[in-house]
Chains A and B, each alone.
Chain A
């Protein structure tokens, strides 16, 4: 599904150049649930940006579904993100002036799906995340957990193969965190691959595999049984 080979990434000008990723080799299989951990500055956000096609690597290969995607143009990358990837952010990033259905339907708008079909699919995914009753609420009328559910529904609405989540529970209390993790497991159960960037060990423990980054390199990569959290 995802294969990275010898990925390097640096930022900044010559003498102040910051070498963030120093040769990353990584594969994620279809349906796998992976956590990426690391202290701040370890390069985990940069790695997620590369995986999410929001950024280019300086060196190395990125195969998505067996296709090289490391050198796509901006518009090609946008189309690829729209079809293959779903994003979940720490800060939810819902559009404040749109209600839940419209927010969820937004990625379909960029696929030029008609309004009726868009809203139908959006409502289906809102139901899946348990927010049918709040479908006409604006983000400022929803709690943090509800906002993240809307965001997950939005990530799922284009039926992507992979969900990329950047600290998805970072802004949530522990009870809501557990709810969201349950939802992620449910999504995982649908056969989607999940890559979750987190610095919380108990979040990582609920995945099947934990990759730890240190100074731009993969320090550890361990497969494990997902821990069960009592709801």
Chain B
């Protein structure tokens, strides 16, 4: 039973030994503070790194990498394989296939062109893709619309442009939608402006990108014979690596490539890297908890130690309370309450201080555009609740030994004790 008198009593008792209370509380404060800051910073780093993955975390990229090295089924060595429209149709028929796009770039991979719009011009890279390419790449439409199936099937000369393209080719406040750009001598109508989900260098590259239907690109600029690369994700609930293997087997079959000829198709599976990164961050989280819990335990041992001293100092008082009718449970309750108040106050201060520091770091990180390894620093509400639960449990544990000692106080001995 905690009523106002009991709160006042605890406050008085804690104030009686200010320095001792403060030093004891600091142990617990520091443990929780460390936990919050370590977890928050870990999360910030995790967010930052994961954001560099951009769009989909389970995207697989497949391209033609090198010549064949093993003769196979009547075919000689050193053949260069070109990905084709036929490959595209075959891959689209795989049941597990989720989002899918073929990608070609004007002038070759990562090349850029001189783009003209009225009096303005700039050098940007032009990428041909299918409608699914926008969500796969993490390109979010901010104005107008994105590429759609009709744009692709009718080979429309339409373009969705990045922010940097808009800034350079259009005047401030000018509406780009409906205007025309001249890309390698051909006019394309702007239908939308996109923003990239990527961060840092990738985001800057994406901002200088122009997206057009891949069918238009390939037919306008004479790339009908080949496809640059494929990007795809599995259907929800399916594994990217399994799909990757299916795709590679299919491509090897179609192009008569020996199954052991591994250098022919280049593959980048974001899921594998993503899992590796996630594993790393899980390890960091575990490490943070271990360090913080170690510190909290040290703090809690300190609290328990002080409570033992408190019980010793107040043996007489405990004897009086018992003589006046306090049961053992009530005496234990008294000690546990004091320990809990001390632990929770200290821990809560640590929590608040930790969140405060994280907020500070967060504002610092976001004001420094250019650091893409750190995202917003904060902690889960769930973690805060867990930390609080850990405090309540540890505060109670800390009080257990002192409280049982208090419960065993013999009032006769305590009252004789001058």
Q: A residues within 8 Å of B by Cβ?
A: 49, 52, 54-55, 74-75, 78-79, 81-83, 87, 89, 91, 93, 95, 97-98, 102, 105-107, 109-112, 114-115, 118, 154, 158
Q: Say yes or no: B328 contacts A74, CB within 8 Å.
A: yes
Q: Say yes or no: A89 contacts B3, CB within 8 Å.
A: no
Q: Give Cα A3 to B6, complex, Å.
A: 38
Q: Say yes or no: B316 contacts A110, CB within 8 Å.
A: no
Contacts of B327 in A (CB 8 A): 74-75, 78-79, 110
Q: Say yes or no: A82 contacts B13, CB within 8 Å.
A: no
Q: Say yes or no: A81 contacts B325, CB within 8 Å.
A: yes
Q: Give Cα A106 to B12, complex, Å.
A: 16
Closest to B411 in A: A54
Q: Give Cα A96 to B12, complex, Å.
A: 11
Residue contacts A-B, CB under 8 angstroms, 14 given: A54-B411, A75-B328, A78-B322, A78-B328, A82-B324, A87-B323, A91-B418, A97-B13, A102-B5, A107-B325, A109-B6, A110-B324, A110-B330, A114-B3
Contact of B321 among A83, A89, A106, A118 (CB under 8 A): A106
Closest to A118 in B: B5
Closest to B413 in A: A54
Contacts of A111 in B (CB 8 A): 325
Q: Give Cα A160 to B3, complex, Å.
A: 25
Q: Give Cα A115 to B12, complex, Å.
A: 18
Q: Say yes or no: A89 contacts B415, CB within 8 Å.
A: yes
Instruction: Check if B412 is an interface residue, CB within 8 A of chain A.
Output: yes
Contact of B325 among A102, A105, A110 (CB under 8 A): A110
B34 to chain A, nearest CB (A): 34
Q: Say yes or no: B323 contacts A52, CB within 8 Å.
A: yes
B194 to chain A, nearest CB (A): 65
Q: Give Cα A158 to B415, complex, Å.
A: 21
Contacts of A105 in B (CB 8 A): 5
Q: Say yes or no: B9 contacts A93, CB within 8 Å.
A: no
Q: Say yes or no: A83 contacts B325, CB within 8 Å.
A: yes
Contacts of A112 in B (CB 8 A): 1
Q: Give Cα A79 to B9, complex, Å.
A: 23
Known: A91-B418, A95-B317, A97-B13. A107 touches B324 (CB 8 A): yes
- Binary per-residue interface labels of chain B (11-52) against chain A in the complex, 1 for a CB within 8 Å, 0 otherwise: 011001000000000000000000000000000000000000
B265 to chain A, nearest CB (A): 78
Q: Say yes or no: B1 contacts A97, CB within 8 Å.
A: no
Instruction: Check if B65 is an interface residue, CB within 8 A of chain A.
Output: no
- Binary per-residue interface labels of chain B (293-332) against chain A in the complex, 1 for a CB within 8 Å, 0 otherwise: 0000000000000000000000011011111111111100
Contact of B5 among A87, A91, A115 (CB under 8 A): A115
Instruction: Check if B4 is an interface residue, CB within 8 A of chain A.
Output: yes
Contacts of B329 in A (CB 8 A): 75
Number of interface residues of B (CB under 8 A): 27
A180 to chain B, nearest CB (A): 19
B404 to chain A, nearest CB (A): 13
Contacts of A49 in B (CB 8 A): 412
Contact of B323 among A54, A75, A79, A115 (CB under 8 A): A54
Residue in B9, B330, B411, B412 whose Cβ sees the most chain A Cβ within 10 Å = B411
Q: Give Cα A54 to B322, complex, Å.
A: 9
A106 to chain B, nearest CB (A): 6
- Binary per-residue interface labels of chain B (376-401) against chain A in the complex, 1 for a CB within 8 Å, 0 otherwise: 00000000000000000000000000
Q: Say yes or no: B9 contacts A97, CB within 8 Å.
A: yes
Q: Say yes or no: B16 contacts A97, CB within 8 Å.
A: yes
Contacts of A158 in B (CB 8 A): 325
Q: Give Cα A119 to B326, complex, Å.
A: 18
B3 to chain A, nearest CB (A): 5
Residue in A78, A81, A115 whose Cβ sees the most chain B Cβ within 10 Å = A78
Known: A78-B327, A81-B325. A93 touches B316 (CB 8 A): yes
B277 to chain A, nearest CB (A): 56
Contacts of B418 in A (CB 8 A): 91
Closest to A106 in B: B324
B316 to chain A, nearest CB (A): 7
Residue in B6, B325, B326 whose Cβ sees the most chain A Cβ within 10 Å = B325
Contact of B324 among A74, A81, A114, A115 (CB under 8 A): A81
Q: Say yes or no: A55 contacts B324, CB within 8 Å.
A: no
Q: Give Cα A98 to B412, complex, Å.
A: 22
B257 to chain A, nearest CB (A): 84
Q: Give Cα A105 to B5, complex, Å.
A: 10
Known: A49-B412, A93-B320, A97-B16. A78 touches B325 (CB 8 A): yes
Contacts of A54 in B (CB 8 A): 323, 411-412
Contacts of A106 in B (CB 8 A): 321, 324
Q: Give Cα A159 to B323, complex, Å.
A: 16
Contacts of B323 in A (CB 8 A): 52, 54, 81, 87, 93
Contacts of A110 in B (CB 8 A): 321, 324-327, 330
B287 to chain A, nearest CB (A): 44
Q: Say yes or no: B326 contacts A78, CB within 8 Å.
A: yes
Residue in A98, A107, A109 whose Cβ sees the most chain B Cβ within 10 Å = A109
> What 8 A-B pairs come out closest when comparing CB atoms?
A82-B325, A75-B327, A110-B325, A93-B320, A107-B324, A97-B12, A115-B3, A78-B327
Contacts of A107 in B (CB 8 A): 324-325
Q: Say yes or no: A154 contacts B324, CB within 8 Å.
A: yes
Known: A49-B412, A54-B323. A109 touches B5 (CB 8 A): yes
B321 to chain A, nearest CB (A): 7
- Binary per-residue interface labels of chain B (106-143) against chain A in the complex, 1 for a CB within 8 Å, 0 otherwise: 00000000000000000000000000000000000000
Q: 17 extra interchain contacts, Cβ-Cβ under 8 A, other than A91-B415, A93-B319, A93-B323? A: A75-B329, A78-B322, A82-B325, A89-B415, A93-B320, A95-B317, A95-B320, A97-B13, A105-B5, A106-B321, A107-B324, A107-B325, A109-B6, A110-B324, A110-B326, A112-B1, A115-B3
